[in-house]
Amino acid sequence: MIDLEKLHEQQALFAFYARQLSYPEKIDYHPSVWAEALIAGHPAYPALQQYWEAMQTYSMEQIEEMYVQTFDFQKKTTLYMTYYQYEDSRERGSLLVRLKEAYELFGLEIEGTELSDYLPLMCEFLSAADWRGHEQEAANILGLMLAVMEDGTYRLQQALKEAASPYFHLINGLRDTFKACVIQEAQGT
């Protein structure tokens, strides 16, 4: 179950993920981006620090090339989260429609031709949507969205690990952020 308040507290961090998972721009690697995104005690901090330090060793041209080679030319590392489970099946189409309706319910429309399961778009939505006051609807919709993201990022994480990509650490941090937004059930004795 999603803790909507904790999810709301992570909105700035989801904006960071959206920027880092989009086509690289020089401004996205400025030290202020890192400073604004995270505090040292956050569960995602160790993974994101590894990612940030690794990315600082590359030139902008190298980052752009790595991004394209990683996310644009490899099916195993696609940023389309439902592709891993459904590829191009009818079930995927149905899920894409449900995700698009979720965006629209909170007043956000998808611009351009991106599909609703595009990970940077999903992170951008989580960073911008205001679900306070709509908790009942939000719990179901955001639960579905995070389930799609969790499933897709698990498979993406495995492929990035195999490729020894610095993006592996970014996805680890994203997954740690998901975990920070889940209501922890009391452990029985």
DSSP result, 101-134:
HHHHHTT----TT--TTBHHHHHHHHHH---TT-
Per-residue confidence (pLDDT) for residue 189, from 0 to 100: 42
Neighbours of 180 (CB within 10 A): 17
User: Residues of the chain with pLDDT > 70: what percent?
Assistant: 97
Reply yes or no on whether the pLDDT at 186 is more than 50: no
Q: Is 107 exposed, middle or buried (0-12, 13-18, 19+ CB in 10 A)?
A: exposed
| CB contact at 8 A, 21 and 51 | no
* CA dist 33 → 117, 156, 171 (Å): 25, 24, 17
Per-residue pLDDT of 52-94, as tens digits, reads: 999 999 999 999 999 999 999 989 999 999 999 888 888 899 9
Reply yes or no on whether the pLDDT at 185 is more than 90: no
Per-residue pLDDT of 26-40, as tens digits, reads: 999 888 888 787 777
Q: Which amino acid is at 31?
A: P
Residue scoring higher pLDDT (187 or 48)? 48
| CB contact at 8 A, 115 and 125 | no
Q: Is 117 exposed, middle or buried (0-12, 13-18, 19+ CB in 10 A)?
A: buried
Closest CA to 19 of 5, 29, 10: 29
SS3 95: helix
Per-residue confidence (pLDDT) for residue 39, from 0 to 100: 77
User: Which of 95-104, 105-114, 166-175 reaches the highest mean pLDDT?
Assistant: 166-175
User: Residues of the chain with pLDDT > 90: what percent?
Assistant: 58
Q: What does the pLDDT average to over 151-162?
A: 96
Per-residue confidence (pLDDT) for residue 187, from 0 to 100: 46
